A and B are shown apart, each in its own frame.
Chain A
């Protein structure tokens, strides 16, 4: 072990989302819409030399009991225009955004990411998600047209087409030869024809290839199918496994799938999302973490959370009292729409929670605080730096996507206090060594189409 070179940690800054991780009731909580909030986090992340900024996407406002869910942050701007604007106020920071493959067409999506890569000089990343539900589909031309099991099949085809479109331009296609009048190098842009199950795409792609060739591809699915998809296709896995043991198991599982796809272990980075709470002492940090958890789980939020499992209206129950004695309505699983589903049998969950609450003397709110705890790193800056480094050096991850609970300054303390300690250890860069996000993540530049010379001869630009 001691001879292995120190692994370099990769860190991303997640802009706060619209679930209850984000605390909006705190007086320090700023706008989730104003560009100044995005600019703050991106500039601070770049000053700390982080790998990338991360922004999720929304395609339908969440609903609970048939009405728009109003207890968490509601509303967000469009992902890609925000990232394009951030390219104007940062120089090196990677710019990663979630875009759904089900409700976007490959030609448009490839064009948008190629544009972002050009406009940011090689910093674009696409976090691919696949949810095909009819609830979200109600905002789109096709509606909820895609059967759930087919979501990865479509995603794979969308990525295949997007990469073919990016590869249809050579890196040096723009010649701009004033004397000959050739704006494009003859043969450097080739037509694409794809006739597949989910996409039927023919033509000459209009947008130049970005500096990265292919924008970095993130993927977040956790099912076996999702893990295989990541191993075959992704550059980064946005993982939910941030604890050490679960992290190591996930890491080993996913990295172990790479060889079957002819890929090197380093070709895919595994980055769990995590929260960090700092304190001057360990006890101080624990106390702060407890306070934040209570801010995240108001009484109303606790009741709404139970209602998702119980499938019934529980507003009559006191969040500071014991758990409901009524049984869950197992028919009403769609009480909450527009968020990740709870997969387990509601009655078994309810029984386990009642048992847990009784054993610990917990109220509804205390139970929800407990069962929704996202773990994360809680401690002094030194402890957190030690922990993060241990996770990476011992292969529980390749780094982390840091999720703040406050907009926009929730990561300032981590960037100010923890990152310098990681730099002192030699585990995190003190300067950007390259210019692109692929450079930061240590990912190879895609070679593009094979036998390019033959392709030029066979299919000149038309």
Chain B
């Protein structure tokens, strides 16, 4: 098995930049900059911090409905446009917005992510979203709410159409041949002719093949159907696990399912969602969490690994879970972005680097390079 004990592969670290942090009360802390929550410059600063720590990628959640209830952050920007806004102000780090599939047009999804990849010269990813929410269905008024299996099945079909559209231009389709007056070689542009049960897309894309060929597809494993989608189609699976042994089982399950689907398991990166509250010692981390809980009046309801403690202990958990085969990396969800992101970058990352578990520079220029994933061949390219 790759990643054998003694020679662990470097871990991958992403960070989620949604809202003011993963804790619903994060915006209420001093220093949260809650007034600037929708200010692009705040997000640019956060990405710069993540990039200083050489993190693989940032994720941005999205949905079409306003967050319910009176507490917590309410309001969202379109995550794809935010990612594009961040692209010229960053270099090296991957930008991974959620773009949903349930109510959107696959053609639009395809060119949006492809364009973020062009603007960032190869640093886009796509976190595949789907919706079972009646509120979102009512916002579009085109169809009834879908259940999880049906929404994931539609997401599956959208991923198929989108990835085909990305390949609908061969890399060298643009020829600019002045002698014949031909701008493109139309033999290298392909109709995708997707005729699915939910929609049809003719193609080709309007947008040339993105720099990465295929921007990495990220799937959050939130149900058995999502696990199946991730095993077959994801480059990165975001999983939930609360113990090391559970993580090992989840990762092995996904790798086996990927192999069953005809893929090499090493083509799939499994990142465990990790909620983090970091303090100088365990007590001060717990005190920060207590403060957040007091503000919200309820306990923090997390669904995956939750670290409340020191940077050293978090680094040790990262090492232990990785070495045991429980994770290719972690998608960190700082309780409070204004505090915990700095701690990750300035304290956790150096410890992992010293242990030889984390890179000291970006290995290339694209997100695929950073994730150690090869640039895929084009499915339509003629086999010479």
Contact = CB atoms under 8 A, between A and B. Distances in A.
Interface of A: 24-25, 29, 33-35, 39, 58-61, 67-68, 70-78, 80-82, 84-85, 87-89, 103-105, 107-108, 111-112, 115-116, 118-119, 138-141, 143, 173-174, 176, 178, 181-184, 189, 199-208, 298-301, 461
Nearest to B106: A141
A159 B82 CA distance: 23
A88 B87 contact: yes
B40 A59 contact: no
B262 interface: no
A82 B140 contact: no
A298 B295 CA distance: 70
19 contacts: A68-B184, A70-B182, A70-B183, A71-B183, A77-B118, A77-B207, A78-B115, A78-B206, A81-B81, A82-B84, A88-B44, A89-B88, A107-B140, A139-B107, A140-B105, A174-B38, A178-B34, A206-B64, A206-B67
Given A77-B118, A80-B112, A183-B34, 12 more contacts: A24-B176, A59-B206, A71-B182, A82-B115, A104-B105, A108-B103, A111-B64, A119-B40, A176-B34, A176-B37, A200-B142, A203-B139
B81 A80 contact: yes
Interface string B324-352: 00000000000000000000000000000
B256 interface: no
A372 B203 CA distance: 30
B143 to A, nearest CB: 10
Closest 10 CB pairs of A and B: A200-B141, A81-B84, A176-B34, A138-B202, A78-B115, A115-B78, A78-B111, A204-B66, A77-B115, A84-B84
A24 B135 CA distance: 47
Contacts of A78: 108, 111-112, 114-115, 206-207
B96 to A, nearest CB: 14
B186 A77 contact: no
A414 to B, nearest CB: 25
**Residue of B75, B78, B87, B88 with most chain A CB atoms under a 10 A cut-off:** B78
B32 to A, nearest CB: 8
Contacts of A35: 87-88, 118-119, 121
Contacts of B35: 174, 176
Contacts of B70: 181-182, 461
Interface residues of B, number: 79
Nearest to B295: A181
A55 B281 CA distance: 53
A299 B178 CA distance: 12
A447 B57 CA distance: 41
**Residue of B64, B66, B83, B200 with most chain A CB atoms under a 10 A cut-off:** B66
A59 B107 CA distance: 8
Contacts of B152: none
Contacts of B186: 67-68, 70
Contact of A176 (B27, B199, B206): B27
Contact of B208 (A60, A75, A112): A75
Contacts of A199: 141
A33 B116 contact: no
B74 A184 contact: yes
Contacts of B7: none
Nearest to A139: B107
Given A78-B111, A84-B81, A176-B35, A58 B75 contact: no
